[in-house]
Structure 1
Amino acid sequence: MSDEQLQQWIEKVSLEHFGVPFTHRAFFNRRLRSTGGRYALRSHHIEINPHQLAAHGEEAVEGIIKHELCHYHLHLAGRGYQHRDADFKRLLAKVGGSRYCQSLPDAAKRTLPFKYQLVCLDCNMTYKRKRRIDPKRYRCGKCAGKLRLEELQRE
């Protein structure tokens, strides 16, 4: 699906479910990872995660579109557009938008395995880390002993 098709889809959903036209830009943003979509407060544009469409289909993305349109229309109307606001919750329930998006199937693959561990020289307590740090700047949380950095073996 192209950005133009997404724009037409959002304009159609806006008119059908909200009765108000969507007059700003909508497009796919491939850099979105943990969210299904995003409404930009300053530019009023809506960005949709294309990975959600590929993984969960049009029905899930339509729920995301309705969610972002709730933010859009309430913000432009000067009403409560944040997730915690009663106006937002009421409008979202009325139009049938999704409160949360489904997680992507490859989300677990993106987490990096631990590469390093810090070992206390006094009590042998270990702390696993994904990033390399300078052990001279830290002490053991258990006994305040000095730490040694070890690189874990790759599998």
Structure 2
Amino acid sequence: MATIRAATPADLPAILEIHNEAIVNTTAIWDETPVDLADRVRWYETRIEAGHPVLVAEARGEVAGYASYGVFRPRESYRHTVENAVYVHHDHRRRGIARQLMVALLGHACDNPDVHVVLALIESGNTVSIELHEDLGFEQTGRLAEVGRKFDRWLDLTILRRVVG
């Protein structure tokens, strides 16, 4: 069992490591080029300034995963819709950490009067993440075929949503 808490700037190197590992080795993040610490600092500051949470799971004194939500699209009419993200360090996967992070993140969203819908956009082959989101009350609302390309193959995107407000 991990401890879930608000991330601090001191957690950003660990968040960077988790983020870049997902870029290099998975289709959880569709970027192809790892980022630097300055990128994660900007990401963190943007989330915090917008009042969006950045959470970490701490296990055995180290950051085992992180989760956040942020702007879905930068148009005014989407201001009550956020997109979530949850990533777990490869050494800590399959231990319930993603679920703990998502429960805390959804708790924050439910308490935020500015959030009405939380979206999850997940690579369709990532059935573990899709099932986790469904277990937490998300419903599949669509699938976009072959909208991304990584590792020399086309990727489909499954869209899930949960109304919280």
What is the TM-score normalised by the length of structure 1? Answer: 0.25
Q: Which of 1 and 2 has greater Rg? A: 1
Is the strand fraction higher in 1 or 2? 2
What is the TM-score normalised by the length of structure 2? Answer: 0.24
